[in-house]
């Protein structure tokens, strides 16, 4: 796992592996470096996260809220046919705690 810094408080986790399988994995990522924002790729999160009926996304959002952390998930989210997931992404992007964006530049722009 490689870490790329974008300023003092934003880190990008670069990995081909799934890094987030459960809620506690979020805390582990934040314990690596002292930061308030993590950027990961869509592929670094277990598929269950994107199936809202599992509750995984809600649990992870709750951790971010409790610990006042932010995360950007980088990937193509434009052609999702699942209305619930589209609504979730829309609401998340409005709160700016967890955002779903197409590229790193957009994530940094939002979080700076």
Give the residue from 43, 48, 10 showing the smallest Cα distance to 29. 10
User: Which CATH number is 69's domain given?
Assistant: 3.40.50
Token pair for 20 = 């987030």
Single pTM value for the model: 0.92
Q: Count of domains in the chain?
A: 1
Q: Whole domain around residue 83: which residue ranges?
A: 2-111
The per-residue pLDDT string of the chain (112 residues; one tens digit each, 9 = 90 and over) reads 899 999 888 999 999 999 899 888 888 888 877 789 999 999 999 999 999 999 999 998 888 888 889 999 999 998 888 999 999 999 999 999 999 999 999 999 999 8
Give the residue from 50, 44, 57, 47 showing the smallest Cα distance to 1. 44
pLDDT at 1: 86
């Amino acid at each position: 796992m490689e870490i790329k810094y974008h300023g003092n408080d934003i880190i990008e986790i670069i990995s081909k592996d799934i890094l987030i399988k459960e809620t506690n994995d979020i805390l582990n990522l934040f314990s690596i470096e002292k930061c308030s924002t993590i950027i990961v790729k869509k592929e670094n999160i277990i598929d269950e996260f994107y199936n809202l009926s599992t509750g995984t996304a809600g649990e992870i959002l709750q951790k971010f809220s409790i610990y006042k952390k932010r995360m950007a998930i980088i990937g193509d989210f434009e052609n999702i046919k699942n209305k619930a997931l589209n609504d979730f992404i829309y609401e998340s992007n409005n709160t700016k705690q967890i955002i779903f964006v197409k590229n790193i530049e957009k994530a940094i722009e939002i979080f700076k």
